[in-house]
Amino acid sequence: MTVNQHVSDKVSKIEPLLTEWRRDLHQFPELGWCEYQTTAYIVEKLTPLSFQLFLGKEVSDSVSRMGLPTEEEDQWHLDRARKNGVPLELLEKMKGSHTGVVAQLDTGKPGKHMAFRFDIDALPIHETPDAEHAPVREQFASRHDGQMHACGHDGHTSIGLGVAHLLHDLKDELTGVYTLIFQPAEEGVRGAQSIVEKGWLDQADLFLAGHIMDQPVGTIVPGISSSLATSKYNVTFSGVSSHAGASPETGQNALFAAATAATQLYGIARHSAGATRMNVGKLIAGNGRNIIADTAYMEIETRGETNELNEYVSTKALTILKASADMHGVQVTSELVGKGISAQSDEIWSEIISSSVQGSKYVKHVSSSFEKIGGSEDATFMMERVQAKGGLATYLLYGSNLSAAHHNPAFDYGEGVLSIAVDTLIHIVLNQQT
């Protein structure tokens, strides 16, 4: 029996489980740093296997976590998880936004240390109630009102569980070490750096992260390098309110400062070295129609094709924010709540992946061309660390038919992608055996 046959048999056996896990996860989406129930679910599924599990403060470096929820929001999610049956002892370990799991299988035999990243968080989006939407039709739509797995991380998590099961199953044939990182808070690029800072990538020889993407079914695209470096800031302006009719001159207008900043931020000069981006995605200011506004809040992000380009935009943005505040006599503070860097996939590693999946029953095509994403990813922090330590890293796409764009209330994907992804990763693993 060929390796291909060997793997495809095993993959086909867990196909029903991949779907079941994904549908379970889809029903209880949780926002970044609040994945209490999701983490517990992963733990439950991995506990019977031969992995050592790391939880809570073992997963991430506390102070390197970015864009944490408020204490109130965190508590609200934790309470919900408790009501949904998550055991108290697990919650105790995770409380304070220490979500996520690292699962490690050490074969005890010399070999490569391979690390995989699976992101597990969901989005603050109301899932469409449209009867045509598969999760509605098949009755696994989100039960968490206003929250939704609209970026496929339910699938990524399911793929991770599938890989874990097959690694467990194949463990006697394997050499080296396998680290599966179930990462919280990828949305907003908030979580990866804290895991990197905890040292989880320092020993990895080979690193892989992947994403379900709108490509032909059966196609995989290894070697993606196009994600933009990005910084996310929450910006708060504090002024002085006054009655807009009786004493407009005594106010220090935070709304005016924020509106000024918004119009100016979009005007940051383009850069000849490559693409940049600037967005003010949210602006909330003022208390009442007849009051000079004393508060304003903005959520902004900068991006750049390279870290330098992102830095260029960020630096200009902070200058503009400060000057806009000065202009209107108000105070401004900018909190960095998310950060992604640009990273290059290693070409040689992509080629190894290509040849690993030759003859696979699931993977029909390996594509090397891919249009730029324009998005950002914090798996890049992991890639950068692995490469800095001498390892190889790459970012994969798994093709699937999407019913709507990522982050859309009607987002969904063909579940066939789950077994294709597991098959891909296991092929790669087996190819690396000494």
Q: Tokens representing 5? A: 């046959």
Helix, strand and coil content of the chain, in percent to the nearest 5, comes to: 40, 25, 40
379 lies in the binding site for a copy of itself (CB under 8 A):
no
| Minimal distance, residue 273 CB to a copy of itself, in Å | 8
Nearest distance, CB of residue 213 and a copy of itself, angstroms: 12
Contact (Cβ atoms closer than 8 angstroms) between residue 99 and residue 38: yes
- Among positions 97, 107, 276, 356, the unique one binding a copy of itself when judged by CB under 8 A: 276
Which residue carries 């939704």 as its tokens? 148
Please identify, using beta-carbon distances, which residue of 217 and 323 lies nearer to a copy of itself: 323
Measured from the CB atom, is 127 or 423 closer to a copy of itself? 127
Of the two residues 11 and 278, which places its CB atom closer to a copy of itself in the complex?
278
Residue 17 Cβ, how far from a copy of itself at the closest point, in Å? 33
- With contacts defined by CB under 8 A, name the span among 75-83, 154-162, 198-206, 367-375 that binds a copy of itself: 367-375
State both tokens at 145.
């009102």
Build a one-symbol-per-residue string for 314-353: x at contacts with a copy of itself by CB under 8 A, - elsewhere: -----xx-xxx-xx-x------------------------
Return the range that interacts with a copy of itself (CB under 8 A); candidates 95-103, 127-135, 137-145, 239-247. 239-247
**Nearer of residues 108 and 146 to a copy of itself, judged by Cβ:** 146
Q: Which residue, 111 or 375, has its beta carbon nearer to a copy of itself?
A: 375
Nearest of 116, 119, 120, 118 to residue 208 by alpha carbon: 116
What is the rounded distance in angstroms from the CA atom of residue 276 to the CA atom of residue 342? 12
Per CB under 8 A, which of residues 186..205 are in contact with a copy of itself?
188
* Binding segment toward a copy of itself, per CB under 8 A, in 3-11, 44-52, 71-79, 275-283: 275-283
Angstrom distance (rounded) from CA 81 to CA 95: 11
Told to check if 249 binds a copy of itself by CB under 8 A, we report yes
Q: Residue for token digits 């992102």?
A: 310
- In sequence order, what are the beta bridge partners of 334? 235
Q: What ranges make up the beta strands (E) of 187-289? A: 206-213, 219-221, 229-238, 242-243, 276-285
Helix (H) or strand (E) segment spanning residue 106: strand 101-106
CA distance linking residue 338 with residue 406, whole number of Å: 19
User: Judged by CB, which is closer to a copy of itself: 194, or 260?
Assistant: 260
Return the closest-CA partner of residue 200 out of 269, 100, 127, 276.
Answer: 100
Burial per residue of 185-220, b for 16 or more beta-carbon CB atoms within 10 angstroms, e otherwise: bbbbbbbbbbbbbbebbeebbbbbbbbbbebebbbb
Shortest reach from residue 171's CB to a copy of itself, in Å: 40
Task: Tell the smallest beta-carbon distance from residue 62 to a copy of itself (Å).
Answer: 23
| Residues 277-316: x where in contact with a copy of itself by CB under 8 A, - otherwise, as a string | xxxxxxxxxxxxxxxxx--x--xxx-x--------x----
Residues 146-165 that bind a copy of itself (CB under 8 A): none
* Rounded least distance, CB 374 to a copy of itself, Å: 3
Among 1, 63, 131, 269, binds a copy of itself (CB under 8 A): 269
Rounded Cα distance between 210 and 220, Å, is 10
Q: How far apart are alpha carbons 188 and 194 in whole angstroms?
A: 14
Instruction: Provide, rounded to whole angstroms, the least separation between the CB of residue 185 and a copy of itself.
Output: 14
Task: Give the angle subtended at the CA of 407 by the CAs of 406 and 412, to the nearest 5°.
Answer: 55
Contact 434, 111 (CB under 8 A): yes
Does residue 256 interact with a copy of itself by CB under 8 A?
yes
266 binds a copy of itself (CB under 8 A): yes
Closest CB 278 distance from a copy of itself, rounded Å:
8
Give the 3-state secondary structure of residue 241: coil
CB 265 to a copy of itself: min, Å:
8
Size of the residue set binding a copy of itself (CB under 8 A): 69
Cβ neighbors of 168 (< 8 A, separation 6 or more) are: 49, 50, 51, 105
Rounded Cα–Cα distance for residues 143 and 94 (Å): 22
- Which residues sit at the interface with a copy of itself, rule CB under 8 A? 124, 188, 228, 230, 232, 243-249, 251, 253, 255-256, 258-260, 262-264, 266-267, 269-273, 275-293, 296, 299-301, 303, 312, 319-320, 322-324, 326-327, 329, 372-376, 405, 407
